[in-house]
Structure 1
Amino acid sequence: MKKQSLVALATLLTTGVFAQQDPIQFTAKGIVVLSDADMAASALVDGNLYKSKTSRDVLTVVKFPLDRSGQNITTAPISNSSALYDKAAVVTPNGRFAFVLEGRGQLGDSVATLKGGVKDLPAAARMFIVDLAPAKPTAKVVSVGNLPTAITINPQGNTLAVASGEAGKEMRLIEIDNTGTPKRVITAASPVPGARITDLVWSPAGDFIAYVIEDTQEVGVMKFSLDAAKKPNIVPHGKPIKVGGMPATGKFSPDGKFFIVSDIKKGASAQGAGKGELFVVQFSTEDTPGEHKIVSQTASGESAEALTISPDGSMVIVANAGQSYQPFGNAGAGKSSLSVYSLDKEGKLALANEYPFEGIMPQSVEFDKSGNAIAVAVSEFLDYGDRTGAIEFWKVTKGDKPALEKMPGKINVARGSHTVRVY
């Protein structure tokens, strides 16, 4: 009897009956995270960087399934900037390469404060091509124009579109080969002459590229095509449309029918930014374009820039930074939230739930491949000493009133995490 009991116990252990549910449940091959480690979020208000001599920008690669030893988590020293929010990186559909815009360069160890805000950060013109396959990620560097602001990749994974501040060459189409190396680069002017493009998003079908221009408060699309010689080409398609006061980030619904844009109204400051809005835009994609139109708009939280749309297109989740970036003594410091909206077939958004959580400046959020979980990049916390950022995870409950539940596990990464990409 005793021998039978031992056999039964061994069977239970090997079959996992006694196993507890993993604290992180996330369906993906991996996650890429960018951390701008040499600038505290509160520097946007008081200019104080609060960095140590060991603070260095880093790219973190997380591969699933997770291992408590951390063997599936690796890093590479890749310079990047939180000034680009979550527009600084893309990953190829097969998960082999990440392309990272530097945006702004790293600061020297002797620099402790920013007197002129983000403009004090060194200008940059580099893109890193990161090979994610090796045990230790490796990177190559190419130039993509002064002060690049956004990057997107087509669904086929063979062409990048990059926006930069180079006059008359604000757009770059970069064809890449199977080693991630650029094989052809084509430049084009901004679809709004002289205007700086602040976000680019390839459509799910690959035939259009949406753009956001913060300075003119406009969004629009460009038609992408290949000529007889297979040379890529983009042309403005229809006139751009006004959306709010400070449009920030845009995402296509999975079917390409709608383009959801966050309008944050104002940038982060000591006075805060106030409530924002979400706009749902329907682009005219006929051969002869008609007018683009706003099909709905709704109120959002404060500093609600980062958003993601579920794989089935039924919900939108927005990360609200609030005033979490304020200096630690401020009442709003460290307080953020997630807002969950349902999205119907006509493009109407309805707020379902809102979830406060402790964390500073969440700037990126993405669904897993199943649509049952999200990952949120949190810049840092109300911690002292050797501070870190993190990727936090939430379980998603679908339905007419979708809901979230925070998972108990998280992945610590270098502080300043601002971009998460799931592959």
Structure 2
Amino acid sequence: MVALTLAPGWAIAQSVKATSQRSRDRAAPLDFQGRYLVSISDADMLASAYVDGRLGAREGQDTINVIPLTGHARDFRAYTTAASNSVAGPPTAVAMTPDGQYALVVETFRPRPAGDEQTQTFADLIHGDRITVIDLSDPTRPRQVQELAIAERPTSVSINHDGSLVSVTFHPDGAGTETPLALIPFENGRLRQPAYPIVARIPPGDELVHAEWHPTQDVLALVNNTAAEVSFVQLSRQGANFELQPSGNVVQVEKFPFIARFTADGRHVLVNNLFWGADVEGTWSEAPRGSVVSIRLAAGTQADGSPRHALVSRAMTGVSPEGLALSPDNQYVVTSNLERSYLPYDDERITWFSSVSLITLNPQTGQLNHVADYPFDGILPEAAAFDASSQYLAVTNYDHFDDRIQGGAIDFWRIASDPLNPQPMLVKTRYSIPVTRGIHSMVLVP
């Protein structure tokens, strides 16, 4: 056998080539999976208008932002079209049909007219009364295909599991109907006439802040913000008529619940609680830390044979956890926390940061475990969304503390851990996508 001897120069050249290749390709992992991210931006107000009422200058117009998730995150960009919306409500003002073709956007307050010098304060804004359908069959060219008049001041929108029925909730100050809920059939890309069924467990004047569909059944979780309760109703259809029947007991949660999210198997519901109220300074300005609770559906049976739903766990979050996201694998829960980032710059209570709270979830038991809070440089992060792999997170950033930077942003985070200490943690990456200022609601199309 003849030994093959390589010249030293060849070995050095190969080593340099390999080092160069590693240097050129070396990057922390970020493989954000899914078809696209869909978000909406309210261009009408500064975040500080929540405190001092001053809307400030507009930055463009209200938009829907569509980000196709193809290629590397460094190449992501947003494609936009006009869609009237408002940040003044829970970050549930946009919803997607199960096939990902249509987005539905509710208008809580109307936009400020272009060049309008009279609309200067939050109190000047006029209640909205529209729901808009956006066709995303080409996500790089979103287009409005329908606008339907509904009751005043809609606050949230959700679509049932087969995409045939849309639910919309209304603030009690604006609805002008006997019920705070609309059900709207959706067929072939078109909304039909809305129905306003009676919701027995929401007393007149209470705020039904969010209604969320069960992932496989025509069951709604109803979040009563005023009474700090979550109830469930079963939908029955009789021709063009809808009836909502109570399903099981009402569950008492914590102060100022905001959003309900079902786990993928429908066994549990998660609810974020903001601890806002008339007994809090400024209603929300000096709120304490918030929480997330989990509710197990049909944990048992009541004496009358109806299901008994049970509150099973809670975890603390940062201050004002408006956004609530659940990973597709049901292992992680995240809240995006406003902290006091939205206060006017000259308010001594301002926090020059927002935060994200990471919580683990046991999908079998519903047990929650608070891992940590992660502060970051941003204002009013109303919403967050996991990617399809459950390993990455997108977080909305309403505005920037540096006023030279126009617009808002979507920032990307990843779940990480030390190989020698597998406790999960969140790491904010350097990747960020500019969008219209005022971004506040966001969903992933997987």
Confirm or deny a common fold (TM above 0.5): yes
Runs of 4 or more consecutive aligned structure 1 residues displaced over 6 Å after TM superposition: 67-71
What's 1:77 paired with? 82
TM-score, with structure 1 as normaliser: 0.88
- Say whether residues 1:199 and 2:210 are aligned partners: yes
Instruction: Supply the distance in 1 between the matched residues of 2:182 and 2:112 (Cα, whole angstroms).
Output: 27
- Say whether residues 1:375 and 2:394 are aligned partners: yes
- Say whether residues 1:190 and 2:199 are aligned partners: yes
Consecutive unaligned residues in structure 2, runs of 5 or more: 1-9
What's 1:320 paired with? 337
What's 1:210 paired with? 221
TM-score, with structure 2 as normaliser: 0.83
Write out per-residue CA displacement over residues 132-154 of structure 1, whole angstroms, 9 at most, x where no aligned residue.
12443211200221111211111
Q: State the secondary structure of the residue aligned to 2:88.
A: helix
What's 1:122 paired with? 126
2:353 to 328, 335, 338: 335
Q: After superposition, where does 1:3-402 map in structure 2 within 5 Å? A: 18-21=24-27, 25-52=31-58, 54-65=59-70, 73-108=78-113, 109-111=116-118, 113-114=120-121, 117=122, 119-134=123-138, 135-139=140-144, 140-164=146-170, 165-178=175-188, 180-183=189-192, 185-191=194-200, 192-194=202-204, 195-226=206-237, 233-266=243-276, 271-284=285-298, 288-329=305-346, 330=348, 332-344=350-362, 345-385=364-404, 387-397=406-416, 401-402=423-424
Whether the 8 Å CA contact 2:179–2:197 is kept in 1: the answer is yes
Amino acid of the structure 1 residue aligned with 2:356: L
Write out per-residue CA displacement over residues 44-73 of structure 1, whole angstroms, 9 at most, x where no aligned residue.
111222214x53111111112158997953
| Percent of matched pairs sharing the same residue | 28
Whether the 8 Å CA contact 1:255–1:313 is kept in 2: the answer is no
Instruction: Supply the distance in 1 between the matched residues of 2:82 and 2:379 (Cα, whole angstroms).
Output: 23
Whether the 8 Å CA contact 2:378–2:397 is kept in 1: the answer is yes
- Say whether residues 1:403 and 2:425 are aligned partners: yes
Deviation at 1:81, TM superposition (A): 0.4
Deviation at 1:25, TM superposition (A): 2.9
The 3 A distance-change label for structure 1 pair 295 and 350 is same
Deviation at 1:270, TM superposition (A): 7.5
Instruction: Supply the distance in 2 between the matched residues of 1:69 and 1:260 (Cα, whole angstroms).
Output: 33
Aligned residue pair count: 410
Instruction: Supply the distance in 2 between the matched residues of 1:311 and 1:127 (Cα, whole angstroms).
Output: 28
Q: State the secondary structure of the residue aligned to 2:108.
A: coil
Deviation at 1:422, TM superposition (A): 0.7
Deviation at 1:111, TM superposition (A): 4.1
Q: State the secondary structure of the residue aligned to 1:325.
A: coil
Whether the 8 Å CA contact 2:90–2:155 is kept in 1: the answer is no
Q: State the secondary structure of the residue aligned to 2:50.
A: helix
Amino acid of the structure 2 residue aligned with 1:207: D
Deviation at 1:323, TM superposition (A): 0.4
Instruction: Supply the distance in 1 between the matched residues of 2:410 and 2:331 (Cα, whole angstroms).
Output: 24
Q: State the secondary structure of the residue aligned to 1:408.
A: strand
Whether the 8 Å CA contact 1:23–1:408 is kept in 2: the answer is no
Deviation at 1:241, TM superposition (A): 2.3
RMSD: 3.0
Q: State the secondary structure of the residue aligned to 2:428.
A: strand
Write out per-residue CA displacement over residues 124-179 of structure 1, whole angstroms, 9 at most, x where no aligned residue.
1100000112443211200221111211111222221111224323222222122x
Instruction: Supply the distance in 1 between the matched residues of 2:380 and 2:328 (Cα, whole angstroms).
Output: 25
Deviation at 1:302, TM superposition (A): 0.6
Write out per-residue CA displacement over residues 311-347 of structure 1, whole angstroms, 9 at most, x where no aligned residue.
1212211111100111123453441111111112322
Amino acid of the structure 1 residue aligned with 2:354: S
Of the structure 1 ranges 396-405 and 192-201, higher mean CA displacement relative to structure 2 is found in: 396-405
Consecutive unaligned residues in structure 1, runs of 5 or more: none
Instruction: Supply the distance in 1 between the matched residues of 2:349 and 2:180 (Cα, whole angstroms).
Output: 40
Amino acid of the structure 2 residue aligned with 1:101: V
Deviation at 1:24, TM superposition (A): 5.1
